[in-house]
């Protein structure tokens, strides 16, 4: 922590050097940031549109926000500014971020549920709704789009929201870049980029290594990432190839803490983390091809992709918990292959003052994995306890239209039909552990429609309504209540009705959005029981989410910029139900809050730029409400407010650019819980976040 004399000294020296460099700079003038530009997005309509003209809640976070004074490791760095989205950093790279959209996905104890993640048109979410955000390469990103509300359902199952990352094209001239960042807790990241134009071929390459000893004990991580993008014009269109690799070996898992452990020492890990050497290794390779072509008034896009993912995870299960014949053991071994294809045709039926555009498309995605489980003998692999092949695939068709049917009125509407098929073949059949093979399929048609009214050139009103659904993932189907063998195919998809109204306003220097929504859900998927390494799920009766989202961005003049993002969310159950079995059974009363969902959040930022010298400085503030750790609401993390300071300095010449920055997070050294593990069996609900910490970084590029 920087409060220690040695670290404070290093930080003070860094700040002094940065300030001195800004004062003494003799570099060419840096162009001041222009007035606010339109937020061009493609997530909602699959064609480039200004978000101001769409009847839905959608934001675009460009690379200036993603990359400026940030290490570009986790999307939590830049997406917590977006209202309606909560991206909670667990400080545990073995379990990924906890991401929720309007409360969807908050129940996830690892990975991402309830939200579609997409990178360069390639799904990062599997057909059953599971996703990992760690594979998003932020160093190569051009922008990230975040869509909330019913239009997310046009991307299929588990669409409480859609987060899309777009990799930047290479620059016009060959450019070599490098960056290095270091900071508290032995954290550092080194990256290099190379991109440009070679004849008609545009290329962009990025490679990085990230390492951290971790804020908490037993939380060391090393991550290697490579990303390549090649774009080539063809006679009839453009072909884009995207390839990426991700390797994160032996990532330590500190587990959660009980409240008493957290109060005593938030940096500790539970003793069983060391006893069983809890950790995870992940390796993923992926290749995708996207073909875009125009034929008169029509546009065609086709995509094909494939990849493989290997995961080995060591859990903290006692010998007694692993002993029963029905136990899958304490070591998880997955070998997953996945692939998919997609085809879309967009027709501009009417052009001119009353444009009408229609899109139709189809997607097919498939995932097949060989899952095995072994005993965890105090960190070593023991005998086989589970052996099965799990397959899930979806086949979807969709259609949507945009129509400006009057001078001030326009509509956007769509329909998607999805079929998701699950199949499991069990090879581990023993006395006391029968054949757990089984299959199930789910079908759903989800309509959505929105209407927009242009009150004035700078003011739009809109409303939308639509249906959504979310199937259980394979991880949620894995166990049945009471230790009974077999997959839990009694678990059914949740269905929801979304309604939203909103206001969008913009001028040359100010942009503001307000959305008010209500979502009623039937058969909400919730944790039923968590014990002995087994977590089983059930369908609750009904729930309701209602909330307000507000964002405002302004160029204040004289070098000042400001941003504000606010969310108020009331997510609760509208009918009672019983969770757990036997001695663990508890009644969830009407009005109980959905676990894992902060009741409110606020992000504010003020930045000043000195155009002539290339110096800038900023202050950030983030507030979050308390988060209940289980559906009976028997415990919760506390609300908190934290602040950050950052400053940077940039020098430019004709062919080169160098930028330095320093960042201090949690400047008041607040002890707080950044995320919770929902319904943890051992009451280890809490994942503490760092106290005051710092980063120092430098970026350089050369064109030739």
**pLDDT one-digit tens code per residue, 454-492:** 999 999 999 999 999 999 988 888 888 877 777 888 899
What is the tens place of the pLDDT at every residue in 48-96?
A: 889 999 999 999 999 999 999 999 999 999 999 999 999 999 999 999 8
- What is the DSSP secondary structure assignment for residue 32, as one 8-state letter? P
Minimal CA–CA distance to 697: which of 651, 655, 652, 647?
647
* pLDDT for the residue 581: 78
* pLDDT for the residue 286: 97
Give residues with Cβ within 8 angstroms of 284, minimum separation 6: 135, 245, 246, 247, 307, 308, 309, 310
pTM of the model: 0.93
Q: How far apart are the C-alpha atoms of 572 and 566, rounded to whole Å?
A: 20
- Pseudo-torsion of CA 218, 129, 438, 536, nearest 10°? 50
* pLDDT for the residue 174: 97
Which stretches of the chain drop beneath a pLDDT of 70? 1-35, 159, 532-533
Number of domains in the chain: 1
Q: Are 59 and 39 in contact (CB under 8 A)?
A: yes
* pLDDT for the residue 532: 64
Residue with the two structure tokens 């390779």: 285
Helix (H, G, I), strand (E, B) or coil at 220: coil
* pLDDT for the residue 219: 97
Provide the 10 A C-beta neighbour count for residue 605. 19
* pLDDT for the residue 555: 96
* pLDDT for the residue 533: 65
* pLDDT for the residue 19: 38
* pLDDT for the residue 36: 77
Domain that holds residue 558: 5-703
* pLDDT for the residue 378: 94
For strands 116-119 and 161-167, give the pairing: parallel
Q: How far is the first Cα of the chain from the last one, in angstroms, to the nearest whole number? A: 41
* pLDDT for the residue 20: 38
Sign of the alpha-carbon dihedral angle for 640, 572, 492, 417: negative
Q: How far apart are the C-alpha atoms of 466 and 55, rounded to whole Å?
A: 12
Q: Are 218 and 149 in contact (CB under 8 A)?
A: no
Q: How far apart are the C-alpha atoms of 429 and 422, rounded to whole Å?
A: 20
Provide the CATH number for the domain around residue 9: 2.40.170.20
- Residue 193 buriedness (CB in 10 A; 0-12 / 13-18 / 19+): buried
Q: How far apart are the C-alpha atoms of 284 and 227, rounded to whole Å?
A: 12
Q: Are 616 and 605 in contact (CB under 8 A)?
A: no
Tokens of 164: 């899309």
- What is the DSSP secondary structure assignment for residue 455, as one 8-state letter? E
């Amino acid at each position: 922590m920087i409060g220690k004399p040695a670290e404070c000294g290093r930080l003070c020296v860094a700040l002094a050097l940065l300030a001195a460099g800004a004062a003494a700079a003799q570099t060419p003038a840096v162009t001041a940031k222009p007035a606010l530009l339109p937020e061009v997005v493609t997530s909602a309509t699959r064609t480039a549109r200004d978000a101001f003209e769409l009847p839905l809640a959608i934001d675009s976070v460009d690379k200036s926000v993603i990359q400026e004074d940030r290490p570009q490791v986790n999307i939590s760095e830049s997406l917590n500014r977006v209202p309606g989205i909560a991206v909670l950093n667990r400080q545990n790279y073995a379990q990924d971020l906890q991401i929720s959209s309007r409360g969807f996905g908050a129940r996830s104890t690892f990975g991402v549920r309830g939200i579609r993640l997409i990178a360069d048109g390639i799904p990062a979410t599997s057909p059953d709704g599971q996703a990992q955000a760690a594979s998003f390469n932020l160093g190569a990103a051009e922008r990230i789009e975040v869509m909330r509300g019913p239009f997310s359902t046009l991307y299929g199952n588990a669409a409480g929201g859609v987060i899309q990352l777009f990799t930047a094209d290479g620059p016009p001239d060959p450019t070599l870049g490098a960056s290095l960042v270091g900071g508290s807790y032995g954290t550092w990241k080194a990256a290099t980029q190379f991109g440009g134009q070679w004849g008609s071929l545009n290329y962009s390459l990025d490679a990085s290594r990230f390492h951290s000893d971790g804020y908490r004990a037993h939380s060391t991580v090393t991550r290697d990432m490579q990303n390549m993008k090649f774009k080539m014009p063809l006679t009839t269109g453009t072909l884009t190839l995207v390839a990426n690799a991700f390797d994160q070996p032996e990532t330590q898992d500190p587990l959660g803490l009980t409240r008493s452990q957290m109060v005593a020492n938030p940096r500790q890990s539970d003793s069983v983390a060391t006893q069983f050497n809890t950790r995870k290794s992940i390796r993923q390779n992926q290749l995708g091809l996207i073909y875009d072509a125009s034929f008169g008034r029509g546009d065609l896009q086709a995509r094909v992709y494939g990849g493989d993912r290997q995961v080995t995870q060591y859990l903290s299960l006692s010998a007694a918990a692993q002993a029963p014949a029905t136990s899958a053991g304490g070591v998880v071994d997955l070998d997953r292959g996945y692939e998919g294809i997609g085809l879309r045709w967009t027709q501009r039926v009417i052009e001119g003052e009353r444009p009408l555009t229609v899109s139709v498309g189809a997607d097919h995605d498939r995932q097949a994995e060989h899952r095995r489980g072994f005993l965890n003998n105090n960190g070593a692999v023991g005998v086989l306890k589970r052996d099965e092949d799990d397959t899930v695939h979806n086949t979807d068709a969709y259609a949507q239209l945009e129509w400006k049917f009057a001078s001030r009125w326009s509509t956007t509407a769509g329909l998607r039909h999805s079929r998701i098929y699950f199949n499991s073949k069990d090879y581990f059949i023993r006395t006391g552990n029968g054949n757990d093979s089984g299959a199930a399929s789910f079908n759903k048609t989800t309509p959505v429609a929105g209407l927009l009214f242009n009150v004035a050139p700078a003011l739009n009103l809109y409303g939308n309504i639509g249906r959504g659904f979310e199937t259980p993932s394979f991880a949620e189907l894995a166990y049945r209540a009471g230790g009974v063998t077999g997959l839990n195919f009694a678990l059914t998809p949740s269905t929801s009705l979304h309604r939203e109204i909103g206001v969008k306003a913009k001028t040359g220097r100010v942009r503001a959005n307000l959305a008010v929504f209500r979502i009623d859900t039937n058969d909400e998927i919730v944790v039923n029981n968590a014990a002995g390494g087994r977590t089983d799920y059930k369908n609750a009766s009904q729930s309701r989410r209602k909330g307000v989202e507000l964002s405002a961005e302004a160029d204040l003049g004289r070098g000042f910029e400001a941003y504000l993002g606010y969310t108020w969310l009331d997510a609760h159950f509208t009918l009672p139900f019983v969770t757990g079995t036997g001695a663990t059974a508890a009644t969830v009363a009407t009005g109980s809050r959905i676990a894992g969902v902060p009741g409110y959040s606020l992000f504010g930022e003020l930045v000043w730029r000195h155009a002539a010298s290339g110096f800038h400085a900023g202050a950030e503030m983030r507030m979050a409400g308390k988060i209940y750790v289980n559906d009976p609401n028997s415990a919760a993390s506390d609300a908190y407010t934290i602040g950050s300071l950052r400053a940077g300095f940039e020098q430019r010449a004709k062919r080169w650019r160098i930028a330095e920055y320093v960042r201090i997070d949690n400047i008041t050294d607040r002890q707080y819980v950044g995320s919770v593990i929902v319904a943890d069996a051992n009451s280890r609900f809490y994942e503490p976040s760092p106290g005051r910490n710092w980063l120092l970084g430098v970026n350089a590029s050369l064109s030739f």
